[in-house]
Structure 1
């Protein structure tokens, strides 16, 4: 695949077994996409994800995701400015 002038891109594929991936990178640097894989019983499972300043953020059936560990510094500074 190739990048656009602004650094963004979109690409994807699908295999004969039903597995797939599609991903888009925005000019802001954020990435969004989803992929499908075949589990151990032959079912295609779909995972959607995003990648932001908080890191990789997957979601899908049976996925448990801990809360982000990064702190939004702008919100932290706003609270301190009110003191």
Structure 2
């Protein structure tokens, strides 16, 4: 339970720092307040939290201890663009999704062909003979 609260607290602090950093960009946001807040930590290790601020930042997350989390946040960028990000964090790592995130270039055809060849021709163990 202590570890859960520590991780949960770290997430809340990180999110609050994000909100403060965002507010520092626009002086009008320096006086933003939390207008909606919910926080639930259950005995089984699951948790939920969410909050909204007066400057239109919205954050929500749910998860189970240090093994899984899923959430999202949204805000308006200094350029006036709505930013929305959703994520999961589990045994596969942190996986964010958002239209504003950069995407990698497509894998070149020759690499895809090489990977298909490797998959179709698995490596066979070579028996090495000892020298005398």
Is the TM-score greater than 0.5? yes
Match of 2:62? 24
Give RMSD over aligned pairs: 2.2
Query: Of the two structures, which has the highest relative contact order with CA contacts closer than 8 Å and spacing of 6 or more?
Result: 1
Q: Moved runs in structure 1, 4+ residues, more than 6 A?
A: none
When Rg is computed on C-alpha atoms for both structures, the one with the higher figure is: 2
For structure 1, list consecutive stretches of 5 or more residues without a partner in the other structure.
Answer: 67-82
For structure 2, list consecutive stretches of 5 or more residues without a partner in the other structure.
Answer: 1-38, 105-124, 126-132
Q: TM-score, normalised by structure 2?
A: 0.44
State how far apart, in whole Å, the 2-side matches of 1:31 and 1:52 are.
7
Structure with greater helix share of residues: 2
Aligned length: 67
Q: TM-score, normalised by structure 1?
A: 0.67
Structure with greater strand share of residues: 1
